[in-house]
C-alpha cells in the first residue's frame, strides 16, 4: 500500500475528497503528487489538487488526457493558488 499524499480532505459540492496540497512545489512535484493521488483513489473517485506553480495548469490538462482522468474544474484564487478537481475514470 502506498503512503497517502495528504491527510486532509475537503468537501466539494457535498462530497468529501482527498486534498493534495502541492503549494510551493515546483514542476514536476504537483504532477507526481497528482499521479500518486489518482492511484490511491477508487474508480469514479475525485481529489482536489492545489498548486502555486503556473506550469501545473498546462501539465495537468495534458496528464489527464494521457491518463484517462477527467479534469472537472480549474480555479485560481486571488493569491495565485490553482485548484484542480480530478476524477479517476479507470
Contact 42, 57 (CB under 8 A): no
The residue from 10, 12, 23, 27 that is catalytic is: 27
Count other C-beta atoms under 10 Å from residue 9's C-beta: 13
Residue 57 annotated in active site: no
Burial of 55 (C-beta count, 10 Å sphere; 0-12/13-18/19+):
middle
6: how many CB neighbours lie within 10 A of its CB? 19
Contact 31, 59 (CB under 8 A): yes
Catalytic (active-site) positions = 27
Amino acid at each position: 500500500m502506498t503512503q497517502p499524499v495528504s491527510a486532509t480532505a475537503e468537501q466539494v459540492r457535498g462530497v468529501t475528497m482527498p486534498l493534495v496540497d502541492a503549494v510551493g512545489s515546483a514542476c514536476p512535484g504537483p504532477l507526481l503528487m497528482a499521479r500518486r493521488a489518482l492511484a490511491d483513489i477508487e474508480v469514479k473517485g475525485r481529489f482536489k489538487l492545489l498548486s502555486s506553480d503556473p506550469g501545473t495548469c498546462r501539465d495537468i490538462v495534458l496528464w489527464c488526457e494521457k491518463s484517462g482522468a477527467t479534469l472537472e474544474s480549474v480555479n485560481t484564487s486571488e493569491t495565485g493558488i490553482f485548484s484542480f478537481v480530478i476524477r479517476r475514470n479507470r
